[in-house]
Amino acid sequence: MTGDFARILTDDLKLPAGQLTDDASLDHAGFDSLAVVELSVLLADRYGIDITDSDIKDAATLGQLDLLITTKRNGR
Q: What is the per-residue pLDDT across 11-62, written as a single tens digit (0 to 9) for each?
A: 999 999 999 999 999 999 999 999 999 999 999 999 999 999 999 999 999 9
Ramachandran region, residue 32 (left: φ > 0; alpha: ψ -120 to 50; beta: rest)? beta
The CATH superfamily of 3-73 is ACP-like (1.10.1200.10)
Predicted TM-score (pTM) of the model is: 0.89
Report yes or no: 6 and 14 within 8 Å, Cβ to Cβ: no
According to the model, what pLDDT value does residue 61 have?
97
According to the model, what pLDDT value does residue 1 have?
75
